[in-house]
Amino acid sequence: MTDDHSVDDRVPPRNGLDLSRRDTLKGGAVVAAAALTGAAPGPAAAATDVAPLPSAPRHGLRLQTTVNGTAVSVDIDTRTSLLDLLRERLALTGAKKGCDHGQCGACTVHVDGRRVASCLTLAAKLEGREVLTIEGLSEPGTLHPMQQAFIDHDALQCGYCTPGQIMAAVACVAEGNATSPERIREYMSGNICRCGAYVGIVAAIEDAAATMGRG
């Protein structure tokens, strides 16, 4: 897991404690976390620290899925979106809730290698599938070329849309849709940046596409 190295949630150490914002959230969530068996602690172990539901849902199900390479077994309310599962239950707060209606792209993650809007994805549909979030994009201590390119090109201002932009951008390159600035703009149009950092975003994707060997 990239808790100590993610690009979006690092806060300065305080009171001598080196805690990221996500560690803090996770700590709160883990207090009464359901114990999981069979999931070896790995790089994505954070994904198995499951926050419990406050009460048993009237309409629930047990979901078995994989998040950032780690098996996850979790009881959910059927209404749960993938985005809420990630953020509220698994303490993976990289994917952001912008509009919650599939219109802004801030919640973009990959399912079975394809980018989707996690806010419009029923978590129940993740049974047996593999989810990749910004937290699992690179090995601990490293940055994915796309993350590095966003830094190099100053491709953000407030940063709220950035995890979604980066996950969409990585997919855009993998799809072969990062072959020109025009094509990048078309295939990144599902990700809105209110700060208007589009010039830097397109430049970052062109740059990273070359590094990634596509486009």
Partner 1 sequence: MHPFDYIRPATPQDAVAAFANAEAGARYIAGGTTLYDLMKLDIERPPLLIDVTAIAGLGEVDIGDERLRVGALVPMSTIAADPDIGRDYPVLAESLAKAASQQLRNMATVGGNLLQRTRCMYFRNGADGAFPCNKRQPGSGCAAIDGLDRGQAVLGTSASCTAVSPGDWPVALTALDASVEIVGPAGARRMLVADLYRLPGDTPHLEFSLTPGELITGIEIPRPAAGSGSTYHKIRDRESYAFALASAAVVVQRDGDLVSRARIALGGVATRPWRATEAEDLLVGQPLTIETALAAGRAAFSTATPGHHNGFKLELGARTVADALLIAAERSRT
* Interacting residues with partner 1 (CB under 8 A): 57-59, 61, 77-79, 81, 100-102, 105, 108, 114-117, 120-122, 124-125, 127, 168, 171-172, 175, 177, 185-187, 189-191
Neighbours of 89 (CB within 10 A): 24
Closest contact distance (angstroms) between CB of 20 and partner 1 is: 27
* Cα four-point dihedral sign 120, 49, 66, 178: positive
Closest contact distance (angstroms) between CB of 190 and partner 1 is: 2
Q: Which is nearer to partner 1, 72 or 83 (CB)?
A: 83
Q: Which is nearer to partner 1, 20 or 108 (CB)?
A: 108
Closest contact distance (angstroms) between CB of 107 and partner 1 is: 9
Q: Which is nearer to partner 1, 23 or 77 (CB)?
A: 77
Closest contact distance (angstroms) between CB of 31 and partner 1 is: 27
Q: Output b/e per residue, 10-34; b: 16+ Cβ within 10 A.
A: eeeeeeeeeebebbebbeebeeeee
Q: Which is nearer to partner 1, 10 or 185 (CB)?
A: 185
The per-residue DSSP string of 56-118 comes to --SSEEEEEEEETTEEEEEEEETT-BHHHIIIIIS----S--SSSSSSS-TTEEEETTEEEEG
